[in-house]
A and B are shown apart, each in its own frame.
Chain A
Amino acid sequence: NAGVTQTPKFQVLKTGQSMTLQCAQDMNHNSMYWYRQDPGMGLRLIYYSASEGTTDKGEVPNGYNVSRLNKREFSLRLESAAPSQTSVYFCASTGVTETQYFGPGTRLLVL
Chain B
Amino acid sequence: GDSVTQMEGPVTLSEEAFLTINCTYTATGYPSLFWYVQYPGEGLQLLLKATKADDKGSNKGFEATYRKETTSFHLEKGSVQVSDSAVYFCALSDLRTSYGKLTFGQGTILTVHP
Residues of A bordering B, CB below 8 Å: 4, 31, 33, 40-45, 48, 50, 56, 58, 90, 92, 94, 98-105
Contact = CB atoms under 8 A, between A and B. Distances in A.
A41 B106 contact: yes
B44 A102 contact: yes
B106 A102 contact: no
22 contacts: A4-B43, A31-B100, A40-B107, A42-B4, A42-B104, A44-B104, A45-B101, A48-B99, A50-B99, A50-B100, A90-B43, A92-B44, A92-B102, A94-B100, A98-B32, A98-B93, A98-B95, A99-B34, A99-B46, A100-B93, A100-B102, A105-B43
Contact of A45 (B36, B102, B107): B102
B100 A100 contact: yes
B89 interface: yes
Given A42-B4, A48-B99, A100-B102, 11 more contacts: A31-B100, A33-B102, A45-B101, A58-B101, A90-B43, A94-B100, A99-B34, A99-B49, A102-B44, A104-B43, A105-B43
Contacts, number: 57
A42 B104 CA distance: 6
A7 to B, nearest CB: 14
A48 to B, nearest CB: 6
Contacts of B69: none
B26 to A, nearest CB: 15
B89 A43 contact: yes
B83 interface: no
Nearest to B42: A104
Contacts of B93: 98, 100
Interface string B89-114: 10001010001111011110000000
Contacts of A100: 44, 46, 93, 100, 102
B45 interface: yes
A102 B89 contact: no
